[in-house]
């Protein structure tokens, strides 16, 4: 209203209004970014989370800061999101850092590493445990500003054509697995890890070209139909006690953003984090029931197998620490933090959860 009276007031008012405008314009510039993701659109929780964060940014800026999400392969191949952001081919990406362990195993710690944290612990490490600073320092060398932007919770141990009970049963098993680190660990126990894109897993499993395959959890796995050709559904997916998804932002583009947009983008990522894990925790319930009704047989990895995998995991981590100073600089405080978390989670979270589940079972 005040503006209008200035307009009515004539020339001096007009100049005043016009002079005042640039500061406002600078603080809320119109920006359009492209966000390359590693996800097919069918993953409506992970890809949906990326879209959700973009929508939130738009809402918070009256559509002045627009981020458009693209599925993997649309403008950048799914597994080249890091390179695309690093080179500023796109301003930002949404991906799982463990896709890049081939460049450096340290990337895994930003997403998940076998026998690692659960979702609460990962959040604690990132928000207050020093994890985010350590990882930002690592990502800087890739010209990336990383922000946690989603989590799947604990994942399943995949679909197996035959039951496995002993470590011997693992020998020679051709297992499609997403985590390269877990693949290296399982290889120590005789498994032959396979890298196969999501869409090609079903036919390989059906033909018996592979013996087993893991993807995410009930809600996502159901869509790919694995239960029809490999009925044993194993738990827990010890290689992904949680999986944090990350927003990657080109460092130069990040630094050019107004402070308010930086804050908005960061808050949108935090919001997407709760949204995504809430959606998994909700949608997995009914999906699990449908899978069981469709013939899936739930199985637990035996203690013998878990213990052997745990031991092999520690060996792999010791090798990384001996050979890779970047890994060591992040893994060691990560390990210390996780050991601390276990001391605390044993005190009340575990007794509360276990009691509730025991009552329900009874």
- Reported for 57-61, long-range contacts at CB under 8 A and 24+ positions apart, including other chains, are 57/264, 57/265, 57/268, 60/264, 60/267, 60/268, 61/28, 61/261, 61/264
Say if residue 244 is exposed, middle or buried (CB neighbours under 10 Å; 0-12, 13-18, 19+). Answer: buried
Selected range binding a second copy among 9-17, 74-82, 95-103, 195-203, rule: CB under 8 A: 9-17
Q: Which of 42, 282, 297, 323 binds a second copy (CB under 8 A)?
A: 282
Q: Give yes or no for residue 44 binding a second copy (CB under 8 A).
A: no
Q: Which of 6, 79, 189, 192 binds a second copy (CB under 8 A)?
A: 6
Name residues contacting a second copy, limited to 320-339 (CB under 8 A): 339
Size of the site for a second copy (CB under 8 A): 95
Q: Which of 267, 299, 326, 328 binds a second copy (CB under 8 A)?
A: 267
Q: Which of 200, 263, 297, 335 binds a second copy (CB under 8 A)?
A: 263
Q: Which of 170, 288, 305, 312 binds a second copy (CB under 8 A)?
A: 288
Name residues contacting a second copy, limited to 83-122 (CB under 8 A): 115, 118-121
Which residues lie closer than 8 Å to 140 by C-beta, 6 or more apart? Answer: 251
Of 76 and 182, the one with the shorter C-beta distance to a second copy is 182
Name residues contacting a second copy, limited to 179-238 (CB under 8 A): 217-218, 235-238
The least distance separating a second copy from the CB of residue 235, rounded to whole angstroms, comes to 5
Say if residue 195 is exposed, middle or buried (CB neighbours under 10 Å; 0-12, 13-18, 19+). Answer: exposed
Of 162 and 342, the one with the shorter C-beta distance to a second copy is 342
Rounded distance, CA 48 to CA 57, Å? 14
Q: 192 phi and psi, to 5 degrees?
A: -105, 95
Q: Give yes or no for residue 156 binding a second copy (CB under 8 A).
A: yes
Strand, helix or coil at 52?
helix
Rounded distance, CA 65 to CA 28, Å? 8
The least distance separating a second copy from the CB of residue 116, rounded to whole angstroms, comes to 9
Of 140 and 311, the one with the shorter C-beta distance to a second copy is 311
Rounded distance, CA 302 to CA 149, Å? 33
């Amino acid at each position: 209203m005040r503006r209008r009276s200035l307009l009515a007031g004539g020339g001096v008012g007009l100049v005043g209004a016009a002079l005042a405008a640039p500061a406002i314009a600078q603080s809320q510039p119109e920006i359009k970014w492209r966000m390359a993701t590693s996800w097919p659109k069918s993953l409506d929780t992970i890809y949906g989370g990326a879209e959700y964060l973009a929508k939130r940014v738009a809402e918070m800026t009256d559509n002045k800061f627009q981020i458009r999400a693209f599925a993997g392969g649309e403008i950048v191949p799914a597994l080249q999101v890091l390179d695309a952001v690093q080179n500023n081919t796109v301003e930002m990406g949404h991906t799982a850092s463990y896709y890049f362990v081939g460049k450096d195993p340290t990337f895994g710690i930003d997403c998940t590493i076998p026998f690692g944290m659960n979702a609460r612990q990962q959040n604690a490490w990132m928000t207050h445990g020093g994890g985010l600073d350590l990882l930002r320092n690592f990502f800087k060398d890739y010209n990336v500003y990383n922000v946690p932007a989603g989590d799947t919770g604990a994942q399943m141990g995949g679909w197996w054509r035959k039951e496995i009970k002993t470590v011997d049963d693992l020998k020679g098993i051709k297992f499609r697995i997403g985590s390269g680190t877990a693949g290296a660990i399982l290889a120590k126990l005789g498994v032959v890890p396979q890298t196969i894109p999501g869409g090609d897993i079903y036919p390989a499993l059906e033909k018996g070209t592979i013996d087993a395959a893991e993807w995410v959890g009930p809600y996502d796995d159901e869509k790919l139909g694995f239960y029809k050709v490999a009925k044993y559904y194993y738990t827990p997916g010890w290689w992904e006690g949680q999986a944090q998804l990350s927003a990657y932002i080109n460092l130069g583009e990040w630094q050019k953003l107004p402070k308010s947009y930086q804050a908005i983008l960061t808050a949108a990522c935090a919001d997407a984090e709760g949204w995504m894990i809430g959606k998994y925790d909700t949608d997995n319930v009914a999906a699990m029931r449908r899978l069981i009704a469709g013939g899936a047989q739930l199985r637990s990895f035996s203690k013998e197998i878990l213990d052997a995998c745990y031991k092999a995991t520690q060996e792999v981590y010791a090798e990384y620490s001996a050979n890779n100073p970047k890994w060591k600089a992040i893994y060691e405080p990560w390990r210390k933090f996780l050991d601390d978390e276990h001391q605390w989670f044993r005190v009340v979270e575990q007794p509360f959860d276990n009691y509730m589940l025991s009552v329900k079972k009874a």
